[in-house]
């Protein structure tokens, strides 16, 4: 039996090469790419401006297949979360966060995560495998056209784009799945695909220094670094990767990255943990670190209230403590925001994404939880409903 080639696996240059192998000219690849990524087409028959001979070739050799959706829930605040099947009993989560002037999609790059940060529930699930290009870009493809269908927005460039920003902040460490992540990024930025600007695509890393340098040369999108500590001793305990790439090395890599970045600052993500990393002294240490004459870096801080889960043994900092910490940074001249927690009620908040679903038992649990919520909040909870204005 012929194995079909999944065209979601190809970046623009690879699709040109694939079409050349079929004896087709490069402009056919652009047409094909527009059908796939701008119209959400999954059937070659619908691609009306492609020659019938090419459609016939593709029908027997290729496919357009994104991961299947296991569940689709919407939070009270409009956050929408899909659990998608990546095979062998594994599932990853994709989260859409709607705001007044933008729609942000949070994409996963690995099933589980090998970094094992102490405050992240995904890391506690262990690492299963890297996702393929089709599984990474397939999340954007699936979400964009699901959202359009829900809203009744037409596919294609004339229809209003639902996803304006992408953050590679879902499950996994993107830089430990480098090539597939970079290929997916190239598709996000390509004008014949999603046409996003580099400023609107953010990759989040826990600090894989050599790969940060490599990314700056290949696809330097906006960068967010999971910092979460103001000194090495503290960060070693929270993020084991710090033992390999300590803070001064990480800062120097951030500084190098800025020469190629689309923004003139690095975003530092900082999870607020009660009594662990949230004192005014920690904030002052951060100021000294980012203002260091040798490795200091232009940055902004995004403080994230921790989403507690039992295995972590950690608690969320109290709101007055978070505000006091932020004030020290602000008084020190740093732009500082406190992230509003979104999607808490459907476990879609930062650090809560579930990892392996080896025997689907977690899916069962989720379905039970959903039934509970529907009892509590009404039958429409978790369904897309039009709210009358």
Q: Domain 68-364: give its CATH code.
A: 3.20.20.70
Exposed / middle / buried, residue 383 (Cβ in 10 Å: 0-12, 13-18, 19+): exposed
Residue from 19, 106, 271, 350 carrying the catalytic annotation: 350
Residues 201 and 222: beta-carbon distance below 8 Å: yes
Exposed / middle / buried, residue 265 (Cβ in 10 Å: 0-12, 13-18, 19+): middle
Distance CA(182)–CA(8), nearest Å, equals 14
90 known ligand binder: no
324 known ligand binder: no
Active site residue 299: no
At 7, list the tokens: 């065209």
Mean pLDDT by 10 residues, the chain (389 residues): 89 95 93 95 93 93 94 88 85 90 93 80 74 96 93 83 92 94 96 95 96 98 96 94 96 97 95 94 97 95 86 87 95 90 53 40 50 61 41
Distance CA(112)–CA(171), nearest Å, equals 6
173 known ligand binder: yes
Helix (H, G, I), strand (E, B) or coil at 95: strand
Residues 10 and 28: beta-carbon distance below 8 Å: no
Intervals of CATH 1.10.150.530 along the chain: 5-63
CA 327-200-169 angle, 5° bins: 70
Active site residue 93: yes
Exposed / middle / buried, residue 388 (Cβ in 10 Å: 0-12, 13-18, 19+): exposed
**pLDDT score of 389:** 32
Distance CA(86)–CA(363), nearest Å, equals 14
At 260, list the tokens: 């190629």
Distance CA(306)–CA(20), nearest Å, equals 50
307 known ligand binder: yes
Q: In what order do the strands lie in the sheet with 266-272?
A: 68-74, 80-85, 91-99, 102-106, 165-168, 201-205, 222-226, 266-272, 299-305, 335-338
Residue from 24, 93, 135, 269 carrying the catalytic annotation: 93
At 278, list the tokens: 């949230």
146 known ligand binder: no
**pLDDT score of 334:** 95
pTM of the model: 0.85
Q: Which CATH number fits domain 5-63: 1.10.150.530, 1.10.3720.10, 1.10.3300.10, 1.20.1260.10?
A: 1.10.150.530
Intervals of CATH 3.20.20.70 along the chain: 68-364
**pLDDT score of 154:** 84
């Amino acid at each position: 039996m012929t194995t079909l080639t999944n065209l979601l696996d190809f970046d623009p240059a690879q699709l040109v090469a694939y079409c050349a192998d079929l004896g087709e000219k490069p402009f056919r690849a652009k047409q094909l790419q527009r059908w796939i990524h701008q119209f959400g087409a999954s059937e070659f028959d619908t691609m009306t401006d492609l020659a019938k001979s090419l459609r016939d070739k593709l029908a027997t050799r290729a496919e357009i297949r994104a991961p299947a959706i296991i569940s689709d829930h919407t939070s009270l605040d409009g956050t929408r979360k899909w659990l998608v099947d990546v095979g062998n009993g594994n599932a990853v989560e994709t989260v859409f966060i709607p705001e007044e002037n933008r729609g942000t999609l949070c994409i996963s790059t690995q099933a589980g995560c090998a970094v094992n940060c102490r405050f992240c529930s995904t890391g506690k699930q262990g690492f299963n495998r890297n996702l393929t290009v089709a599984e990474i870009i397939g999340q954007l493809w699936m979400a964009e056209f699901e959202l359009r269908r829900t809203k009744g927005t037409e596919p294609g460039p004339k229809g209003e784009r639902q996803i304006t920003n992408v953050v590679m902040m879902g499950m996994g460490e993107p830089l430990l799945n480098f090539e597939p992540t970079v290929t997916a990024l190239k598709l996000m930025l390509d004008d014949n695909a999603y046409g996003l600007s580099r400023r609107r695509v953010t990759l989040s890393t826990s600090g894989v220094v050599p790969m940060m340098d490599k990314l700056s040369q290949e696809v330097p999108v906006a960068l967010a670094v999971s910092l979460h500590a103001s000194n090495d001793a503290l960060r070693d305990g929270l993020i084991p990767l710090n033992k390999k790439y300590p803070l001064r090395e990480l800062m120097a890599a951030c500084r190098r990255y800025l020469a190629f970045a689309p923004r003139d600052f690095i975003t530092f993500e900082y999870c607020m943990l009660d009594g662990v990393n949230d004192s005014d002294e920690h904030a002052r240490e951060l100021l000294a670190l980012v203002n260091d004459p040798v490795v200091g870096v232009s940055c902004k801080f995004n403080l994230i209230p921790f989403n507690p889960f039992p295995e972590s043994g950690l608690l969320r900092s109290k709101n007055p403590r978070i505000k006091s910490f932020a004030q020290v940074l602000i008084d020190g001249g740093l732009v500082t925001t406190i992230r509003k927690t979104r999607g808490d009620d459907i476990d879609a908040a930062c650090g809560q994404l579930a990892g392996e679903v080896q025997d689907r038992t977690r899916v069962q649990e989720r379905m039970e939880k959903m039934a509970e919520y529907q009892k509590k909040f009404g039958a429409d909870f978790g369904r897309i409903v039009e709210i009358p204005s």
